[in-house]
Amino acid sequence: MSERQKGYGFPSPTTALFPNPVITTRDPGTTDGTNKGYVIGQNWINTSNNTVYVFTSNLGGSATWSLSTAGSAQLDTLTGDSGGAISPLAGNISILGTADQVTTTGTANTITMSLPSAVIAPGSIAATTSIQAGTTLTSAGATTLATTGASVNTFGNTTGATSLSLLVGSGNFSLDGAAASTYTIGASATTGTVTIGGTAQSGNMTLGSSSATNALRIANGAGATTVTIANNQVAGSVAIGTAMTTGTISIGGTGLQVGNFDLAPGTGAQTVTLASGSGVKTINIGNGVSGNTISIGNGTITSAQVVNIAAGASAGNSTVNILSGNASSGTQTLNLGTGTGGKTIGIGSGAGANLITIGSATTTSSLSLLAGTGNFSLDGAATTTYTFAPSTTSGTINFGGTGANVGTMTIAGGTGAQTINIANSTGGKAVNIAVGAGANTVIIGSTNTTSTTTINSGSGGVVTTGDTNVSTGNLSISTTGKGLRVKAGAATDFLGTATLGGGGGTITVANTNIATNDRIFLTRIAANASTTLGELSYTISNGTSFTINSLIVGTPGSVQTGDLSTVAYFIVRPL
């Protein structure tokens, strides 16, 4: 407390003097006012820090002491980023925060500045290194992060249950970079799920829409990946490369893939279309060098199935090649309808004018056409021409069974007027009909009305090795200048000559073919030195010889010894 001092002098015996300064070791407070006898204008000196205060007001019982001189630990002014230096007001400079941004808290001689748990920036936040948020970082309005300078920006972390959500409204979402930027999504994930696109999305989703040449790789790692495209949708469509004109579309492994490749494996009724557009296509299935197994329509079907290959109404040239490559090694087998079930197989059976070639004439190629009890039919139109083995020069052509065939083989059995040509070309041929060891019955020609059978030969004649029977007709030599020619000269021939000699009038001709009932026709062809001629007769020694005698006319038992004639004989064996 301070009291006024009184002075004594003239003319007033007493005069009130201004109070002396308060000298102490502390700063004045708001309670050091007039209530304690301090006078406005009085000084306060703190000798501990060399500061001087002046008592300037006492409003509402609160004293104000203003700093009048600078000390070693006191401030005269504070200067901020703007507004210049700020002097104390009533001995005080307030450092205040802004709601949701910065708060200040005074304790003793310390003012602590802090951020609230949720900071709302009045404008942009710029950082030269990192911005870290304890829990949530929220921005109202447009937010721009790391827009200048080369920087590495990290949002979120992989610790515990940390999550990161990037959300947009109707203003769209853009993830973009420089021309050579690399974008990686979920590179460290091993068991998690990476989802791109909305679960109820109705708009378009585009991957790799660049007009430049690029590569779009899906499931391109070495792991055993399951790739699912449109695996849950029940409608819609899946299109791959629909706008391509010169590119290549590859589905399935190009390396040593050993897994299955399934195309349309669903159980529902489906239409699977390959290269059905109007453009010219080359379709390769199983076209590699490895031993492929290619199955089309190979399932165990429970309802009617149709497999069509090139079955459309072709308006241009169409070629279907099956197993048509040039085999350099190995064996190639084409199986068509080889299963055990009954099948109907049509080859070129349509109404078009088809040209069908089956088999090859190259080296040891062979062709077998087999039929069971359902019979075999080779048929055509009414005017069709059938040609068998026209190029064969040294091979063998067999028709009919070579084994124990007991059926009937009919050639040209039609009722119409036909010409049947067998071996009628210019080359020399041996035509064998029923020459086997069996007891064959060969019938040539017909007895119907005016039927004619003509057997022609050249100078070699017509040769038969067995008996020739004329059963119901006559043996006629009807051509002028033609006759009957019989083999003669050998001892066993049925035609020959003999000369009566010995004792005259008789001759024995050795012939092992002669039989008891044979008929011998005798004709004298030369009288020779005969003195008389007799009547010719014969006797037969079965299987040995026959004897020709010249008998005396009127005396049948006597030989005309003077007959030395040469006699021609012709032997005929009755049936």
Which residues are CB-contacts of 346 (< 8 A; sequence separation ≥ 6)?
A: none
* Spatial contact of 210 and 216, defined as CB atoms under 8 Å apart: no
Torsion of CA 333, 336, 342, 344, to 10 degrees: -160
103-107 and 545-552 as β-strands: parallel, antiparallel, unpaired?
unpaired
C-beta neighbour count of 68 within 10 angstroms:
13
The 10 Å Cβ neighbour count of residue 88 is 16
Give me the pLDDT at residue 14, please: 61
| Number of other residues whose CB lies within 10 A of the CB of residue 90 | 14
Domain ranges of the chain: 5-93, 495-572
Evaluate the CA torsion angle 535, 541, 542, 545 in order and state its sign. negative
- Integer Cα distance of 305 and 299 in angstroms: 10
- Provide the pLDDT for residue 327: 73
Whole-model pTM over 0.85: no
pLDDT of residue 129: 67
Q: How far is CA 482 from the centre of its chain?
A: 78
Q: How far is CA 469 from the centre of its chain?
A: 72
* Look-up of token digits 């009547």: 535
- Lookup result for tokens 């205040």: 96
Tokens of 82: 């703007």
Is the bond preceding residue 11 a cis peptide, omega within 30 degrees?
yes
**CA–CA distance, 169 with 140 (Å, rounded to integer):** 13
- Decide: residue 44, CB within 10 A, 0-12 exposed, 13-18 middle, 19+ buried: buried
SS3 104: strand
Q: What is the pLDDT of residue 15?
A: 63
Nearest CA to 543 out of 508, 512, 510 is that of: 512
Neighbours of 121 (CB within 10 A): 13
pLDDT of residue 84: 63
pLDDT in tens, the chain (575 residues): 555 555 566 666 666 677 889 999 999 999 999 898 899 999 999 999 999 999 999 999 899 998 876 544 456 667 777 776 676 665 577 888 888 778 888 876 688 888 787 777 776 666 666 666 666 666 666 777 777 777 777 778 888 878 888 888 877 888 888 877 888 888 888 887 888 877 777 778 787 777 787 877 887 777 777 878 777 777 777 788 777 777 787 777 666 677 777 777 777 777 877 777 777 777 777 776 667 777 777 777 777 778 787 776 767 777 878 777 777 777 778 788 887 777 888 888 877 778 888 888 888 788 888 888 788 888 888 788 888 788 887 778 877 777 777 778 888 777 887 888 887 778 778 888 877 777 788 888 777 788 888 888 877 777 777 777 777 777 788 889 888 878 887 888 899 999 998 678 999 999 999 999 999 999 999 999 999 999 999 999 999 999 999 999 988 889 999 999 999 999 999 98
